[in-house]
Amino acid sequence: MLSIPASRPNAYTGSPLDRASGRREDTEFIAACAASPEALYVPVWRSRSLMRGVEEGRPEALLLSPAAAEAVRMAGGPWAFLGFWEGRPVFAVDCSAAEDPLPLLPEGFGAFTDLRAVAGLLPAGEASVLAHARGLMHWRVRHRFCGVCGGVCEPRSAGNAMACTACGAQHFPRTDPAVIMLVTDGARALLGHSVRFPNSTMYSTLAGFVEPGESLEEAVRREVAEEVGVAVGEVHYHSSQPWPFPASIMLGFHAEALSDAITIDPEELRDARWFSRDEIRNHERHGFGLPRADSIARRLIEDWLESA
Ligand SMILES: [Zn+2]
């Protein structure tokens, strides 16, 4: 089995930001950036992102001035430095304390929307910036207290880390690796119908979280064995996709099946089958759907289809 290269970038990649992580410890510099009239703030309200044009099918991200950000922040939400966008400092700000932040903004200022619903329609790079802000603010609002001693934590590194005021432990944003894999036997690919989408006809790749002490290849083999009872040999990396919903990265693989018989785990899957390339290309005629065009699952399937 040869590895199949990724044919194009995944969704949520291609951030236009220079993260400038070396400047995060310079508190005077960060304070000057935060107060600069050039600064842009990416607001996050209860895990939703501010956009306009959603109903028209042309969503675009809306960023706030320092004054507007301060108004929606309600003097309490966390913030963090994300980097520079064409030279302008960019920050994330959480405005979840506001019951409804829209009246606090200039009129006609869009709406807070679930990024995942429109990511494929956003201009290149914007989905990445919104996902970055959302993931970091999700981590911040859930790490106000120390996991070691229960003490109060304070932000460090311009909001990109937390330190305990009692025991001094440092805490950093988490990114939990998840493996997502297309299992193939060369001529056919194995797709499953998840119990999480009972009303859909979608058949997709298998996926699961990496466990402590496990390599990525071992996680692929274990998940496939657990979900469908198929033995996997070679595992080839394809590409990755940030998935900060709330805190993952999807690591995509093509996996070679060593066995054929499928035994599904009914807690995970309603069904799983082997499909030929022809069946997948003509999936509508065969009565099933595929994952969304902007998903890494779809990319794994399409790049495999093209590899023959
Ligand atoms: Zn502590």
Count H helices, E strands: the chain? Answer: 7, 15
Contact present, 260 and 188 (Cβ < 8 Å): no
Beta bridge partners of 251: 179, 240
What's the token pair of residue 87?
């030279």
Looking at the structure, give the CATH architecture of the domain made up of residues 21-171. Answer: Alpha-Beta Complex (3.90)
Kind plus residue range of the DSSP H or E element containing 34: helix 27-35
Q: From ligand 1's centre to the CA of 155, what distance in Å?
A: 13
Q: From ligand 1's centre to the CA of 247, what distance in Å?
A: 22
pLDDT at residue number 202: 96
Could you give the angle at the alpha carbon of 16 between the alpha carbons of 14 and 19, nearest 5°? 105
Give the pLDDT confidence of 192-251 residue by residue, as tens digits.
Answer: 999 998 889 999 999 999 999 999 999 999 999 999 999 999 999 999 999 999 999 999
Q: From ligand 1's centre to the CA of 163, what distance in Å?
A: 8
Beta bridge partners of 255: 183, 235
Q: How many CB atoms lie within 10 A of CB 280?
A: 19
| Start-to-end Cα distance in the chain | 12
Give the pLDDT confidence of 146-203 residue by residue, as tens digits.
Answer: 999 999 999 999 999 999 999 999 999 999 999 999 999 999 999 999 999 888 999 9
Q: Give percent of the chain above pLDDT 90.
A: 86
The sign one gets for the Cα dihedral 40, 46, 52, 53 is positive
Where are the chain's structural domains?
Answer: 21-171, 176-306
Q: From ligand 1's centre to the CA of 152, what distance in Å?
A: 7
C-alpha gyration radius of the chain: 22
Q: From ligand 1's centre to the CA of 213, what distance in Å?
A: 25
Task: Inform me whether the pLDDT recorded for 2 exceeds 80.
Answer: no
In words, the CATH class of domain 176-306 is alpha beta
pLDDT at residue number 109: 81
Q: From ligand 1's centre to the CA of 178, what distance in Å?
A: 28
Peptide bond into 246 cis (omega under 30): yes
Rounded mean pLDDT of 2-31? Answer: 94
Q: From ligand 1's centre to the CA of 153, what distance in Å?
A: 7
Contact present, 177 and 188 (Cβ < 8 Å): no
